[in-house]
Chain A
Amino acid sequence: MEEYKYVGKRLPRYDGMQHVLAKTRYINDIRLPGMLYVKAWRSPVPSARILKVDVSKAESLPGVVKVITWKDVPYNRYGFVADYPVLAEDEVRYIGQEVVAVAAEDLDTAMEAVSLIDVELEEREPLLDPLKGMEPDSIQVSPEGNFVYFGDKPVRQIRKGDTDAAFAQADYIIENYFRTAAQEHCPIETQCGIAQTDVMGRTHVYSMSQAIWFNKMWLAPILKKPQSMVHIMGGVVGGGFGSKNDPHTDLICSVLSLYTKNRPVKWLWTREEEFTSSTHRGCMHMFFKDGVMKDGRIIARQVRSIRDGGGYILTNDYVGAKHAYGVAGPYNIPNVKVDTYVILTNKRPVSSMRGFGLYQASFADEVQIEKIAKTIGMDSWKIRFINAVRDGDTSSTQAELHSCALIEVMQAAAQRAGIKLDDDLLTMSSKVRLEV
């Protein structure tokens, strides 16, 4: 057999020595000459109208270089449908939303300046439950309503076959409700960014972004500059898990840097800010209804899922759609009906976290398999094997599937877990569908 240099070998991690000698340069390890420090005035309430913002005392504090409000942002919107303001205008929709940002000579001065900012709020009753947000007389988080649109519909629909006809034929109808909580990514490196705009008007950003090109796509219009005038440097991320797909510090730092006479500005979030004000994994409500035959086949699945979207759309439509595509599970179910809703609430906007809505789907989907097993009195491994996708099957979105390996993966997993599977399961293959 041919001897490989790398395949099958244990190789030291390529950047391991850099890490263990602590030579890896994270954004907070960078200090530039003349650097200023940023702090933001954040909303203390989940929902309010902003009646007045007075920054005069903060501006006159010695050491304060620039105080910005939304009026200083060239174009104050971003997100996939450009609904999210960089700095709040006439309302705040969640606790921690940034209203004013300060750049000062040092951190203590920036913090003191923030304490001198006077914002008058008229509190409103917040909407905190997405299920209530679907009701017609609900509090409206956005003037456009609480429902996030997918194309021309306030719902992402998946349709395959005829679920109602299949339910009529099924031996069992099995219904369950699943709910997953919101989750913070909690990277050990909190959000941090440095921005500097040079004399030629080019903005340079030292970013811990996981998504530099996304950031660039969002940042250039905010600064009203072509992308060639936005230079983002990054690549070193102290843990992201999806939280650093969103440009938490980069936008406000970049806007501030337009006003600091070419001096760089740095913003490091505290752990508290990370928890209250960074994006997180959205809470999901999932209502399952399955039609199952005595032999273990799932012949119909109907899912109605509702995602708690937080205050703005941001990336919610993308994550909601991905959840809808995956929620019927890796099973060959001939009749599928999925309705996924994303509802705005007065919470921190949710975004990507490891799997974009699919983990919540997998949790519900696999617990549902266990519930089916209990109801019909069959081993849950067997139900998974019988229904597993095979080459040539179609997904719930009716894409033909190839290179399926779920059966082989389950066989290997059972072996490693020391679980003895029945012989009929061990002879199954993803390449062919054998009658049970």
Chain B
Amino acid sequence: MDKYTINFTLNGRPVSVEAPATVNLLTLLRDYLNVTSVKFGCEQGNCGACTIIIDGEAVNSCLVLAQTVQGREVVTVEGIGTQEEPHPLQTAFTEYYAAQCGFCTPGMLMASKSLLDHNPHPTREEVVDGIVGNVCRCTGYNKIIEAVQAAAEEMG
């Protein structure tokens, strides 16, 4: 199968990768670039486990053809915090037990980050609206909503 070069910014660093035109961004990140934070949950845009941020907007990476990120800026969980300097959302998710099995967590974090980037002081309803595309089967969502609100407060 013919391969095409894709150049884009991943977590602040330029990357160049060759892939067939049929590959979606989820597969490109996981299988071509070893970014395992982006989870395979449905590959149909239903579960949100593969949510990432492209040019500031949260999107399901499984619904994005890899070729279309040419020249754009992609951010995953690997780009928002480290063990030494976690993002306030990452700290809050740990303290408020918003991560249980942890599988939806990366997508949930990216959807939440996008929400707070656009709206630093969301109401509870706005948080619910912000994570409505992300399915969690463990927590029942309350802990996640609490964590996002706590992070928003922490960030001031």
Contacts and interface: CB of A to CB of B under 8 A. Distances in A.
Q: How large is the interface on B (under 10, 10 to 19, 20 to 34, 35 or more residues)?
A: 35 or more
Contacts of A186: 135, 137
A381 interface: no
A321 B49 CA distance: 37
Contact of B93 (A10, A20, A187, A241): A20
A18 B102 contact: yes
Interface string A10-25: 1011011111111011
A185 B44 CA distance: 18
Nearest to B36: A29
A13 B37 CA distance: 19
B95 A12 contact: yes
A126 interface: no
Contacts of A26: 39, 103
Contact of A271 (B41, B90, B102): B41
Interface string A266-309: 00101100000000000000000000000000000000000000
Q: How large is the interface on A (under 10, 10 to 19, 20 to 34, 35 or more residues)?
A: 20 to 34
B97 interface: yes
B99 A13 contact: yes
Interface string B25-49: 0000000000011011111101101
A373 B138 CA distance: 34
A188 B49 contact: yes
Contacts of B47: 188, 271
A221 interface: no
B78 interface: yes
Interface stretch (B53-61, B64-72, B104-112, B119-127): B104-112
A271 B42 contact: yes
Given A15-B102, A26-B103, A188 B137 contact: yes
A24 B83 contact: no
Contacts of A28: 39-40
B36 A21 contact: no
B94 A189 contact: no
A434 to B, nearest CB: 37
A274 B105 CA distance: 20
Contacts of B44: 271
Contacts of B78: 22
Nearest to A186: B137
Contacts of B77: 20-22
A26 B77 CA distance: 16
A136 to B, nearest CB: 42
B86 A21 contact: yes
B102 A24 contact: yes
B81 interface: yes
A428 interface: no
Interface in A230-252: 237-241
Given A10-B95, A188-B104, A188-B137, A21 B82 contact: yes
Given A12-B94, A188-B47, A268-B40, A239 B81 contact: no
Contacts of A20: 77, 81, 86, 89-91, 93-94, 99, 105, 109
Main secondary structure of the interface of B (DSSP, over half): loop
A239 B103 contact: yes
A254 interface: no
Contacts of A430: none
Given A17-B83, A21-B77, A188 B37 contact: no
A22 B77 CA distance: 7
B41 A190 contact: yes
A16 B97 contact: yes
Interface in A13-45: 13, 15-22, 24-26, 28-29
A270 B49 contact: no
Interface in B123-154: 135-138
Given A22-B36, A188-B104, A239-B103, A17 B90 contact: yes
Interface centre among A19, A185, A189, A238 (most CB of B within 10 A): A19
A15 B101 CA distance: 9
A238 B100 CA distance: 9
B105 A19 contact: yes
B103 A22 contact: no
B6 to A, nearest CB: 19
Nearest to A192: B40
Interface of B: 36-37, 39-44, 46-47, 49, 76-78, 81-83, 86, 89-91, 93-95, 97, 99, 101-106, 109, 135-138
**4 nearest CB pairs, A to B:** A16-B94, A22-B37, A238-B103, A19-B102
Given A20-B93, A28-B40, 10 more contacts: A10-B95, A17-B90, A19-B93, A19-B99, A21-B82, A22-B78, A186-B137, A188-B103, A271-B42, A271-B46
Interface of A: 10, 12-13, 15-22, 24-26, 28-29, 185-190, 237-241, 268, 270-271
28 contacts: A10-B95, A16-B99, A17-B86, A17-B94, A18-B102, A19-B93, A20-B81, A20-B105, A21-B81, A21-B82, A21-B83, A25-B36, A28-B39, A29-B36, A185-B137, A186-B135, A186-B137, A188-B49, A189-B41, A189-B103, A190-B41, A238-B39, A240-B101, A268-B40, A270-B43, A271-B42, A271-B44, A271-B47
